[in-house]
Structure 1
């Protein structure tokens, strides 16, 4: 690793490369944004205008649809009236007074309440006029002729309408009709003449939100299969209600729709178009279909008005871009230096570890990502150190295993011969108390040697774990059953405290019972007569199972506390020093740990920590 550089930037180094790339990444978008500024600003303004026009078209289309729905509802009330149906069915037999009382009075009520009607008529099944009323008192026209020539009624009796037309006063009018049915048969027809100019202009020509050049108009778009080929013709696609421009009257404004609208295909969905209007100006328009009817509300606005602020926006974009570029330059320099610093620290620590300083670690770093890398790097070094220690320990155990197996094999036969001879000698000198005592001592020492050899063999022998779920209570009582004689002899009481209940310990029952038995026997030996040994199972804050063996003895001295699990270390005159070492080996094979300490009230505390399984024993 190179030792040069310090905090400076070297050409070709990470810091300089990061700076160059960040500047390029900042400059290229800025250059593109500057070159396309006009286009982007224009599109943004047109999009905003488009959405605004959409809102206006949709809201006013809803108002028109509601207006028509109200008119149809009023006509439907008349057509469904039993008295009107009776007048149609018995017209020849009724007097004018009867017809006036039964039908005409209802027509006058509707006409008087709603200003949008020029007239309403009730026709009989033969087309004869049964009753009619008009706003100006004149004839409403031959409504039967409208029915016959316009074909405004569908076979199923739904409400239909004729194509809007201009009347003699320049107003746009529209005939709508509804069949009168009674007893399953048609009795006649209700025809109403609507004045769209008087009824809809106040809704359509509200200037709110239209600016200086915006305008709204209503279009009749007939796109039936028979007329689709001629959809650009004024007879099929026309503006029927519009706000006149200066020097143009309503008749002149009744013109074909622009090609951009007329050629769209079937209506029914909101669309946006751009075209040149009758003044030769480019306009943007949004269209909204009137629900259930072949009409559309169209809202226009001049493109020039929409783009009036584009120069101001472009100047703002240029100033903002220059400031942004300077800010990015400063941030790029600072960021490139900050990104390089953690890598230099990591490289220095890695070099120290490779040269023998295995305890060196990376200190706190600024930045969340750098801190995460630091923790991962230090964790990796800790795990490597732990694995190295484990390798040393494993090699030591393997050596001890080979040595112990050899020793046990070589010593068992001579030791068995010595034991048999001493037992024979004991029978010979049994009558002599002095020699008998000597023989008993010799036999006891032979038994101690046998235990030591067995413990040594167990410690060095490879162990295969056979896990199975087991209750803590079952484990504790199995271990206690093997210590009953020793507890009775020492007059020590052994109790179980189970806080784990049915939580399963996934362990090798034989090995874990052996480890727990060793700890309980140690507790019995350490406790005074009348003392207590507690075997407790509980759960800690980390969701691990804790198995504790607590005695009321004198505890463990601070000098020996760190050595109790080392092989061949013992404070007992007849101990082998391998019991607690075997306990630690068994616990660690289960993925756990074992610790020794002293309780608050005196006495030793041995704690086995084991990972918990997710299963409970029923």
Structure 2
């Protein structure tokens, strides 16, 4: 049994610790997850913004480079180079044409044609002639296009990527010739978009899937996700052609029909997220440890009153009924201890009452048998003494002795009746009575007692008293005993006052007299059996008074009056109050 109780206590502590730790950890995990999720989303958004900003900056640089080429060709369109080059002098040339074509890492070739597509002037490091470069379809397209025309990028045998740019030379609405340029995209654009100090990698893919910056890389376009090749502009995570997980954003360059891609290593991008995750893990561990320590402390504090209660109950079960729980700990622990102690006090008092009632029952049985056995001999003695007193009536000495014997026999019979009444088990017969009706019966009984004496009895009964629920015979006996005691205490002339008023939920009844009162050494044990202030008293009258009052749910107390005399105060519950 002890093992079971101990296991139950341990299980309670474990359950409390588990519950408290769970209550503490679950919100922490939720908060940590939300924090990590929001941080990851914030890093993604920040990275997407940064990559898009880099793309926009590079797009602007490429746009500026293309704008410069437009201005170069437009300057040829508006210049007199075509006139100066159409003379018969084979060495004649245009200075502007030569200056534009000589720009380093910009033009692989620059050609000038008349309206009949006759090559007038060229400046080229290119292995083909201007005539071979242009086919009939390109010529037809250029003849019907206003402004600058860019071709798609295309590769050469040396691995370089070129772009064709061309325009019509128009004078007063009349086409006079054509300018055609081969732009070295690999050498011209690479310095623009590459930055050795940047953590990003930029890639340019032509419409044919060629890597503009690395023409030899044939796998790049095929390794890209479809969303990147469509240039959606959204941040994507994928495996690069080098087999590394990256995050990237793509954008289409409309003029060149190229796709510009910017990538960054996901490991570097998410490095701070990893740090945050580790910090969250450390914080969660420390919080879990703190929650566990606090949970253990709280569980021990919570179970401490139960342990004390268990220990106290064990002591009581061993017979030590005087032990009580200490009033220690928090408010609830103190309240539990107070409730338990009050319960034990009530049980102790109930145990005393039960013991007394058991003793009284045993005394009653003994008394009944003793009274029954003594009454017949006592009656015989009384009758014989009365007969003898008749024979010695003429002798004053023996006549007085016979009278004394009769009086003592009467006294002994009265004592036997009191013992029989005190020890007899009582059956209450409670009834609902109006107070006026009950006190009318009591007044009639008391008037009979004081008749033939010099004692006057007065009643002051409130007219506002409610009904009362008592055994009328027992309550009449209470007042008979009190009034008889008062009459015997006064002996000569005096007054007995009985008053009744409402006091809260109780009816307060006071019986006072102007006799000599009761000595203090007797007053402290006045209601105990066989305690009396008179030499001829039995000491059972007031004991029966207390017994009858308490059986009717009330209480009785004694108090001495300042001017002399005795005062008994009785409290009885009103009819609407529950009587236990």
Find the residue that maps to 2:521 and give its secondary structure.
coil
Find the residue that maps to 2:520 and give its secondary structure.
coil
2:334 is aligned to 371
C-alpha distance 13-528 of structure 1, shift in aligned 2 (>3 A)? same
C-alpha distance 545-366 of structure 1, shift in aligned 2 (>3 A)? farther
Partners of 1:452 and 1:603 in 2: how far apart? 26
C-alpha distance 554-331 of structure 1, shift in aligned 2 (>3 A)? farther
1:604 is aligned to 566
2:495 is aligned to 532
Quote the offset at 1:448 in angstroms: 0.8
Quote the offset at 1:500 in angstroms: 6.4
| 1:421 counterpart = 2:370 | no
Partners of 2:309 and 2:462 in 1: how far apart? 47
The 8 Å contact of residues 549 and 555 in structure 2, kept in 1 or not, is answered as: yes
Partners of 2:378 and 2:511 in 1: how far apart? 35
Quote the offset at 1:444 in angstroms: 1.1
Partners of 1:493 and 1:565 in 2: how far apart? 26
Find the residue that maps to 1:564 and give its secondary structure.
coil
Unaligned runs of 5+ in 1: 3-9, 42-313
Partners of 1:439 and 1:483 in 2: how far apart? 32
2:464 is aligned to 501
The 8 Å contact of residues 465 and 501 in structure 2, kept in 1 or not, is answered as: no
1:100 is aligned to none
Quote the offset at 1:37 in angstroms: 7.1
String of CA shifts for 1:269-302, please: whole Å, max 9, x gaps: xxxxxxxxxxxxxxxxxxxxxxxxxxxxxxxxxx
Find the residue that maps to 2:361 and give its secondary structure.
helix
| 1:338 counterpart = 2:301 | yes
The 8 Å contact of residues 556 and 597 in structure 1, kept in 2 or not, is answered as: no
Quote the offset at 1:525 in angstroms: 1.9
Quote the offset at 1:34 in angstroms: 4.4
String of CA shifts for 1:380-404, please: whole Å, max 9, x gaps: 2112212321221122111111111
1:582 is aligned to 544
C-alpha distance 568-500 of structure 1, shift in aligned 2 (>3 A)? farther
1:462 is aligned to 425
Partners of 1:477 and 1:11 in 2: how far apart? 63
Find the residue that maps to 1:574 and give its secondary structure.
coil
Over the residues paired in the alignment, what is the CA RMSD in angstroms? 3.9
Partners of 1:356 and 1:396 in 2: how far apart? 21
1:135 is aligned to none
2:529 is aligned to 567
2:19 is aligned to 21
| 1:556 counterpart = 2:518 | yes
Find the residue that maps to 1:560 and give its secondary structure.
helix
Partners of 1:352 and 1:559 in 2: how far apart? 37
Partners of 2:572 and 2:9 in 1: how far apart? 55
1:591 is aligned to 553
Equivalenced residues, count: 339
Partners of 1:430 and 1:482 in 2: how far apart? 36
C-alpha distance 427-480 of structure 1, shift in aligned 2 (>3 A)? farther
1:357-368 alignment runs, 5 A limit: 357-368=320-331
Quote the offset at 1:413 in angstroms: 1.1
Quote the offset at 1:409 in angstroms: 0.9
C-alpha distance 406-366 of structure 1, shift in aligned 2 (>3 A)? same
Find the residue that maps to 1:483 and give its secondary structure.
helix
**TM-score between the two structures when normalised by the length of structure 2:** 0.51
C-alpha distance 333-600 of structure 1, shift in aligned 2 (>3 A)? farther
Quote the offset at 1:602 in angstroms: 3.0
Find the residue that maps to 2:567 and give its secondary structure.
strand
The 8 Å contact of residues 518 and 533 in structure 2, kept in 1 or not, is answered as: no
1:135-284 alignment runs, 5 A limit: none
2:576 is aligned to 614
Partners of 1:328 and 1:422 in 2: how far apart? 94
| 1:389 counterpart = 2:387 | no
Partners of 2:22 and 2:516 in 1: how far apart? 74
1:449 is aligned to 412
Partners of 1:599 and 1:15 in 2: how far apart? 61
Quote the offset at 1:354 in angstroms: 3.5
**Partner of residue 405 from structure 1, selected from 365, 368, 372:** 368
Quote the offset at 1:489 in angstroms: 4.3
C-alpha distance 326-540 of structure 1, shift in aligned 2 (>3 A)? farther
C-alpha distance 453-533 of structure 1, shift in aligned 2 (>3 A)? same
The 8 Å contact of residues 523 and 549 in structure 1, kept in 2 or not, is answered as: no
Partners of 2:290 and 2:460 in 1: how far apart? 67
Find the residue that maps to 1:547 and give its secondary structure.
strand
Partners of 1:348 and 1:500 in 2: how far apart? 55
Quote the offset at 1:330 in angstroms: 6.5
**TM-score between the two structures when normalised by the length of structure 1:** 0.48
Partners of 1:327 and 1:500 in 2: how far apart? 71
String of CA shifts for 1:510-532, please: whole Å, max 9, x gaps: 11101111011112222363322
Structure with bigger gyration radius: 2
Partners of 2:313 and 2:545 in 1: how far apart? 37
Partners of 1:479 and 1:11 in 2: how far apart? 61
C-alpha distance 11-470 of structure 1, shift in aligned 2 (>3 A)? closer
Partners of 1:357 and 1:387 in 2: how far apart? 16
Partners of 2:408 and 2:441 in 1: how far apart? 29
Partners of 1:11 and 1:515 in 2: how far apart? 54
| 1:522 counterpart = 2:485 | yes
Find the residue that maps to 1:361 and give its secondary structure.
coil
Quote the offset at 1:506 in angstroms: 0.7
Greater mean alpha carbon deviation, residues 547-556 or residues 420-429 = 420-429
**Partner of residue 479 from structure 1, selected from 431, 442, 451:** 442
The 8 Å contact of residues 522 and 531 in structure 2, kept in 1 or not, is answered as: no
1:308-323 alignment runs, 5 A limit: none
